[in-house]
């Protein structure tokens, strides 16, 4: 953000009492805090299998987890359930919050969940190129140290 959303004046950095530097409009005397958007990422398992997906357009060889933005007015829990329903058509139970992961370069706060399903049949949305079950015991095709990889590790503890 470069300009004041009330008056359009250029913002400048102001040092606050706690020492942090934030964007400030001197005309409106208003501080604009940089905030991150919440997004959910969900490790869905069925007994000893985990659901991995690849989005349309990915050029790297790795797979990932179901993820998506939390809509305005929506809880993160409902976003997790909705995203899984929309992307693969699976019904969840035992949804649990794991950890949150800030992605500063994208202004995203990823909220990691794990959940179980009793279903196996995947109804893949058009956003996904692939969606499939993988054995949890085997090596998973996740990018090392990625958020998806960290969420899967956390889900198995």
Report the interface residues with Zn ion, using CB under 5 A.
4, 6-7, 9, 25, 27-28
Handedness of CA 123, 39, 78, 151 (dihedral sign): positive
Task: Tell which residue, 121, 48, 59, has the closest CA to residue 90.
Answer: 121
Shortest separation between residue 23's beta carbon and Zn ion, angstroms: 11
User: Residue with the closest Cβ to Zn ion?
Assistant: 4
Residue (25 or 76) nearer to Zn ion, CB: 25
Residue (23 or 114) nearer to Zn ion, CB: 23
Q: For residues 23 and 1, what is the distance between their CA atoms, to the nearest angstrom?
A: 8
Q: For residues 96 and 131, what is the distance between their CA atoms, to the nearest angstrom?
A: 22
Q: Is 89 helix (H, G, I), strand (E, B) or coil?
A: coil
Residue (27 or 71) nearer to Zn ion, CB: 27
Residue (10 or 118) nearer to Zn ion, CB: 10
Q: For residues 32 and 53, what is the distance between their CA atoms, to the nearest angstrom?
A: 37
Shortest separation between residue 2's beta carbon and Zn ion, angstroms: 12
Shortest separation between residue 33's beta carbon and Zn ion, angstroms: 15
Shortest separation between residue 3's beta carbon and Zn ion, angstroms: 8
């Amino acid at each position: 953000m470069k300009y004041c959303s009330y008056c359009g004046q250029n913002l400048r950095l102001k040092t606050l009492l706690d020492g942090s530097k934030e964007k400030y409009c001197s005309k409106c005397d208003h501080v604009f805090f940089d905030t991150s958007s919440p997004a959910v990422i969900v490790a869905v398992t069925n007994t000893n299998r985990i659901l991995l997906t690849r989005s349309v357009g990915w050029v790297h060889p790795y797979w990932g987890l179901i993820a998506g933005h939390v809509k305005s007015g929506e809880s993160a829990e409902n976003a997790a359930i909705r995203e899984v329903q929309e992307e693969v058509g699976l019904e969840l139970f035992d949804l649990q919050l794991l950890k949150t992961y800030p992605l500063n370069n994208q202004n995203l706060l990823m909220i990691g969940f794990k959940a179980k399903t009793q279903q196996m049949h995947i109804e893949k949305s058009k956003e996904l190129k692939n969606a499939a079950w993988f054995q949890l015991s085997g090596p998973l095709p996740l990018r090392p140290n990625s958020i998806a990889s960290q969420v899967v590790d956390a889900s198995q503890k």
